């Protein structure tokens, strides 16, 4: 394709229709027609933000018997999940409830929303999502919003366009004494859940312009409105339209004019006064964020003078530009901060007024392993990582991260690892949902301390770069990297914490040993026919036992007693004690009977514990014939090698390993068995 053809192709593919919709202009009269038809276009900033979130839909889920609303917006459907937030359903539900209360005018709109939590807990990600969502929402039919510009004669007698510097709502042009009447007439015909309210005055520039034109036309409002061109307002952080971001800097290089605008000294000579609104730049973050949202990064690191500006902005919805009266604003004020800065705020008696105007939302770390895994799987995708990531690598790093964030359970018989599994929805014998609810209730600051996801991401990246010769990344590469990094971790000042984190790494390594052994066991016992046959023998014995019958031997034809040894060897694998074997067997037969009534046939895969027990039993029966421990030797006979190759192919085909990681895990598990055999020999001696 030539350059001219490419040029024509680009021109042809431009969506001019959408461009024209987003750049719609009309008279004030035409805008009133739009308001009558669609009163929701006059919503305030909180109403717009809340509706934007709800527009993506919700899901009702149950977490440990508690109904929780999950907002799909926080999965980041806009960018295919790039900024998705995982595992924070409850904090996000609280945040959205605050926005809903503000949208309904219940008082929350007069508060600063403060996201508080440890570093790397997704506070800034949540705000980034909200800003991005508002930008997209303002381009949709549901999120339409409008502002206006003035057509004014310039020095040469030609028309010149003067944009409203704070993107005001056009209805503010309605004279104050007529606003209630106009709003009442619109609301009378409206089906919107929000009442149209015309509140606040115009910004100083528009107020000055309005007054000058009213004087010029002897109070003829209609002629003044002939100078108004209403236009579609599309929010954009990059263009500083409706979305502002403020970040603390060096005190010497920052003052409050960055929030409320500053005098344009070049224009003072033209207009003759520094209090003339035409000689003022209304481009502070509060000004440009009007009608949208302003984010305060590390809010509590701001100088006290800035925090005072926030008092009026939140409670009164007003700011004080230099040389001008209080100016109305309509914007969501949201900031985020970490634990040390918040503690300073609590101990500062001078900031009591600010604390009183703040709604704090705790944003903790994940305490569910499955949610933590989602973070790292999103960051280390196949497209980004060229190495093969061995099974359990991400899982083990996520498990360690969660363990560092949990508080030790008060129940002596429960380990921290078991607690993490319970939180993640796993079943542990002897513990119920009530126990999980009790564990959560007794925890004081769970998720507010521990290792940040950023640390994990950095160390996984280090492991990928460090092991250049390896074709795959295995758990030990990452776990070793995590342990080495603890010595130089800048956020661990307490040596006890460092020691505790290392102890948890040892726990994770033991857990991985079990998972690796389980994978190899499953690969060895992956003979479906053999497992099915073993299961059938077990079920036949259980049926005969519960019905006090005998089992007919298929080969001899003789009636025999149920195989108690077989039943117990399987049941012991899932920790069924001798005292509970009768109950377990009856429950199993009742379940099989219920399936039969429904016309369904029992399959061992339906019961995960039974499946696991059957696999372990089959593994025990077969491992000696495979001689797995010979892998640690340099000499392997041909027959054994063929069996090992079959196991390796199963690991690759069914469990996500590649050639290198399959060989590694087989060698690792072989070394465990060799170590176990050595221990047995020593115990005999």
pLDDT at 673: 73
When pLDDT is cut at 50, 70 and 90, the band that residue 56 belongs to is very high
Is there a domain that residue 214 lies in?
yes
| 124 to 127, 228, 258, 521, 536: CA distances (angstroms) | 5, 38, 21, 44, 56
Contact 422, 429 (CB under 8 A): no
When pLDDT is cut at 50, 70 and 90, the band that residue 246 belongs to is very high
pLDDT at 680: 41
Is there a domain that residue 593 lies in?
no
The predicted-structure confidence for 341-395, as pLDDT tens digits, reads as follows 888 888 777 678 888 889 999 999 999 999 999 999 998 888 888 899 999 999 9
Is there a domain that residue 8 lies in?
no
CA distance 127 to 637: 62
- pTM to 2 decimals? 0.85
The predicted-structure confidence for 283-338, as pLDDT tens digits, reads as follows 999 999 999 999 999 888 877 777 778 888 999 999 999 889 999 999 999 999 98
For 39-79, the three-class secondary structure string (H helix, E strand, C coil) is HHHHCCHHHHHHHHHHCCCEEEEEECCEEEEEEHHHHCCCC
Total number of domains in the chain:
1
96: domain CATH number is 3.40.50.300
Is there a domain that residue 33 lies in?
yes
Is there a domain that residue 431 lies in?
no
Checking if the pLDDT of 64 tops 90, the result is no
Question: Which residues make Cβ contacts (< 8 Å) with residue 347, sequence separation at least 6?
Answer: none
Phi/psi-derived region of residue 291, left when phi > 0, alpha when psi is between -120 and 50, beta in every other case = left
CA distance 434 to 192: 43
Checking if the pLDDT of 416 tops 90, the result is yes
Is there a domain that residue 311 lies in?
yes
The predicted-structure confidence for 570-586, as pLDDT tens digits, reads as follows 888 888 889 989 998 99
Checking if the pLDDT of 626 tops 70, the result is no
Give the burial class of 252: count Cβ atoms within 10 A of its Cβ; 0-12 exposed, 13-18 middle, 19 or more buried.
Answer: exposed
CA distance 679 to 437: 41
When pLDDT is cut at 50, 70 and 90, the band that residue 447 belongs to is very high
Sign of the alpha-carbon dihedral angle for 511, 512, 513, 519:
positive
Is there a domain that residue 190 lies in?
yes
CA dihedral 502, 503, 504, 506 (to 10 degrees): 90
High-pLDDT (> 70) share of the chain, %: 93
DSSP state of 237: T
Question: Which residues make Cβ contacts (< 8 Å) with residue 86, sequence separation at least 6?
Answer: 366, 371, 372, 374, 375
When pLDDT is cut at 50, 70 and 90, the band that residue 679 belongs to is very low
Quote the domain boundaries for residue 334. 22-364
Q: How many residues does the structure list for the chain?
A: 685
Checking if the pLDDT of 623 tops 70, the result is no
Reported in sequence order, the residue ranges of 411-543 that DSSP labels E, i.e. its strands, are 472-473
Report which of 659, 453, 401, 491 is spatially closest to residue 461, judged by C-alpha positions.
453
Averaged pLDDT of the chain: 88
- b or e along 219-247 (b: 16 or more beta carbons within 10 Å of the residue's beta carbon)? eeeeebbebbbbbbbbbbbeeebbbbbbe
When pLDDT is cut at 50, 70 and 90, the band that residue 634 belongs to is low
When pLDDT is cut at 50, 70 and 90, the band that residue 657 belongs to is very high
Question: Which residues make Cβ contacts (< 8 Å) with residue 567, sequence separation at least 6?
Answer: 538, 541, 542, 545, 581, 585
Sign of the alpha-carbon dihedral angle for 362, 368, 374, 380:
positive
When pLDDT is cut at 50, 70 and 90, the band that residue 677 belongs to is very low
Checking if the pLDDT of 160 tops 80, the result is yes
Is there a domain that residue 512 lies in?
no
């Amino acid at each position: 394709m030539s350059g001219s053809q490419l040029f024509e192709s680009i021109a042809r593919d431009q969506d001019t229709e959408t461009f024209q919709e987003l750049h719609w202009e009309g008279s004030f009269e035409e805008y009133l027609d739009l308001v009558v038809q669609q009163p929701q276009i006059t919503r305030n900033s909180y109403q717009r933000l809340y509706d934007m979130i709800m527009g993506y839909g919700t899901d009702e889920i149950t977490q440990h018997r508690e109904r929780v609303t999950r907002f799909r917006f926080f999965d980041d459907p806009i960018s295919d999940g790039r900024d998705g937030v995982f595992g924070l359903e409850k904090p996000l539900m609280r945040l959205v409830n605050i926005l809903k209360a503000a949208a309904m005018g219940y008082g929350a709109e007069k508060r600063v929303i403060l996201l508080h939590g440890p570093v790397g807990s997704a506070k800034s990600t949540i705000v980034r999502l909200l800003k991005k969502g508002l930008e997209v929402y303002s381009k949709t039919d549901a999120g339409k919003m409008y502002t206006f510009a003035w057509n004014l004669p310039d020095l040469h007698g030609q028309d010149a366009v003067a944009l409203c510097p704070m993107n005001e709502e056009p209805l503010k042009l309605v004279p104050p004494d007529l606003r209630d009447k106009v709003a009442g007439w619109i609301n009378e015909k409206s089906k919107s859940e929000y009442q149209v309210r015309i509140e606040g005055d115009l910004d100083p520039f528009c107020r000055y312009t309005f007054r000058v034109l009213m004087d010029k036309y002897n109070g003829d409002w209609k002629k003044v409105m002939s100078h108004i061109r209403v236009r579609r307002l599309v929010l954009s952080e990059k263009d500083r339209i409706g979305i502002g971001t403020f970040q603390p800097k060096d005190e010497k290089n920052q003052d409050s004019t960055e929030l409320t605008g500053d005098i344009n000294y070049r224009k003072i000579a033209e207009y003759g006064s520094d209090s003339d609104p035409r000689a003022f730049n209304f481009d502070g973050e509060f000004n440009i964020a009007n009608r949208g949202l302003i984010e305060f990064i590390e809010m509590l690191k701001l100088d006290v003078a800035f925090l005072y500006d926030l008092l009026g902005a939140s409670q009164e919805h007003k700011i004080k530009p230099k040389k001008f009266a209080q100016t109305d604003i309509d914007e969501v004020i949201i900031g985020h901060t970490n634990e040390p800065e918040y503690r300073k705020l609590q101990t500062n008696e001078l900031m009591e007024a600010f604390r009183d105007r703040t709604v704090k939302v705790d944003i903790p770390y994940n305490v569910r392993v499955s949610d933590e895994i989602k973070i790292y799987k999103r960051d280390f995708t196949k497209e980004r990582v060229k190495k093969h990531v061995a099974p359990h690598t991400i899982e083990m790093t996520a498990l360690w991260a969660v363990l560092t964030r949990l508080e030790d359970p008060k129940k002596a018989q429960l380990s921290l690892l078991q607690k993490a599994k319970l939180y993640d929805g796993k079943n542990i014998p002897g513990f119920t949902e009530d126990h999980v609810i009790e564990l959560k209730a007794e925890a004081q600051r769970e998720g507010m301390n521990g290792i940040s996801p950023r640390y994990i991401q950095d160390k996984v990246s280090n492991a990928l770069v460090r092991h250049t010769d390896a074709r795959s990344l295995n758990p030990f590469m990452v776990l070793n990297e995590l342990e080495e990094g603890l010595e130089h971790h800048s956020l661990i000042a307490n040596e006890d914490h460092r020691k505790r984190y290392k102890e948890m790494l040892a726990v994770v390594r033991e857990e991985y040993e079990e998972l690796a052994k389980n994978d190899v066991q499953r690969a060895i016992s992956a003979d479906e026919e053999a497992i099915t046959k073993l299961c059938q023998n077990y079920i036949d014995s259980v049926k005969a036992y519960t019905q006090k019958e005998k089992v007919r031997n298929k080969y001899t034809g003789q009636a025999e007693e149920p195989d108690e040894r077989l039943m117990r060897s399987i049941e012991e694998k899932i920790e069924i004690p001798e005292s509970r074997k009768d109950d377990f067997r009856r429950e199993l037969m009742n379940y099989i009977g219920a399936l039969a009534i429904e016309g369904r046939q029992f399959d061992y895969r339906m019961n995960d514990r039974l499946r696991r027990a059957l696999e372990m039993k089959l593994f025990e029966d077969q491992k000696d014939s495979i001689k797995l421990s010979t892998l640690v030797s340099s000499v392997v006979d041909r027959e054994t090698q063929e069996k090992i190759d079959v196991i390796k192919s199963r690991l690759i085909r069914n469990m996500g390993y590649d050639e290198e990681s399959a060989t590694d895990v087989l060698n690792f598990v072989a070394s465990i068995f060799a170590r176990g055999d050595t221990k047995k020999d020593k115990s005999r001696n």
